[in-house]
Amino acid sequence: MANQIPDQKRVGIVSLGCPKALVDSERILTKLRADGYAMSPDYAGADVVLVNTCGFLDSAKEESLDAIGEAIAENGRVIVTGCMGDEADVIRARHPQVLAITGAHQYEDVVKAVHEAAPPSQGPFIDLIPQMGDLADIKLTPRHYSYLKISEGCNHSCAFCIIPSLRGKLASRRVDAVLREAEKLVAAGTKELLVISQDTSAYGVDTRHEEREWKGSPVRAHMTDLARELGKLRTPAGETPWVRLHYVYPYPHVDAVIPLMAEGLLTPYLDIPFQHASPSVLKAMKRPANEAKVLERLKSWREICPDITVRSSFVVGFPGETEEDFQYLLDWLEEAQLDRVGAFRFEPVEGAAANDLPNPVPEAIKEERYARLMEVTARISAAKLQAKIGRTLPVIIDEVGEPDEDGDIGATARSQADAPEIDGNVFLRNVPADLKAGDFAQALIEDADEHDLFGVIV
């Protein structure tokens, strides 16, 4: 092609772990493209392959090591980055062929390693090629939704977690920079912003909630101020994009965002990592133990915004967890009636304080408790979804299928209660032929199971 850079080097990527790591991958690829690299969708076409690893749990580390091995087998030229990058000796012991290893969000080091492994093609006119700027940033998610990372790191010292040692203490982005990125994403086609960090509620604590000017007015680096400004964004067509808050610790000021949800400025959805309910287990986890007050706040939030969805995740089998502790959690869940719940069996991870705690829970008991918890939460979820049958709900379209033998077209969508990849779906029948991914629609709910809804566009 006339406009192709001669001998353009190509980079492939495997991105593992959480959405925060996915944002890191997007930033790395965007920088590499600005340096003249092209992206390869497969191993065979890549001059070098990046593997962005996860190091949160031993099982995640093993998955990362397997992914590195696959990339080496398929391509041979591999650079490793991400959370497991701090364990270079472990990686090299398994895969000595790795070209370079860098840690989490060390963008400059990753780019430098790529330059050394596959030097960019510097033709005589390379510096004259215009760059498209932030609007042309590479996205690894579908065009209609985007992750918006507002900070790095975490100030907590939870006994089961090593995130602070991997990603450092809380480091908040400037509020005007976050809003500028959000505005550009929406202008470029994003219909749903997923706000992420290690601790969204703590945004701006490290900068003493410094103010920056935005649209002629001062705005604090604070979750409530940020949420209010994000709620003012509009798509080019004048629609209000969905703004979904993830990793929200239930600090008192979280109460202030619930009215914004009731007003329609924020998606009525909170992702809160409760982790457990038993006071003794929460104390051992080094987590705040205020489970009774949380129940009161949940009730208050639902009074203000009846359609609010609360999702959470819980750890079963934490060292010292007794049957009484676990039953306390089940009873709490029955009362809390959370909409979406994920669960994890406790897993030791090197460097975590929980590894030294006494009375580890046997694996068989972990499995049994996990099954019991999932049975309870599936029943609660099924009842909540059954109550939505007959209602008309706003949905966002993720995928439109091909016509079947009768010419009918189905689509996969999500309601405001469903975050991508982690929650349920709304499966639609007989959708219009002009429907496309990213469209907002109204769906009449006709049926439900434990996790998903089924309906038709009205």
Residues annotated within the binding site are 18, 54, 83, 154, 158, 161
Q: Count H helices, E strands: the chain?
A: 12, 20
State which amino acid sits at residue 207.
T
Element (H, E) at 295: helix 291-304
- Selection from 441, 450, 6 nearest residue 239 by Cα: 441
Question: Beta strand 100-101 with 145-149: parallel, antiparallel or unpaired?
Answer: unpaired
Residue where the block lists tokens 């700027």: 133
Assess contact for 67 and 25: CB atoms under 8 A. no
Non-local CB neighbours of 122 within 8 Å, separated by 6+ positions: 36
Report CA Rg, the chain. 23
**What are the binding residues for [4Fe-4S] cluster?**
18, 54, 83, 154, 158, 161
Residue 43 tokens, joined: 């191993």
CA–CA separation, 328 and 320 (whole Å)? 14
Angstrom distances, CA of residue 128 to CA of 5, 36, 351? 12, 12, 49
Which parts of 249-331 are beta strand (E)? 269-271, 309-316
Q: 3-class DSSP state for residue 370?
A: helix
Answer for the pair 218, 229: CB distance below 8 angstroms, yes or no.
Answer: no
Question: Encoding tokens for residue 384?
Answer: 């909540």
Q: How many CB atoms lie within 10 A of CB 35?
A: 16
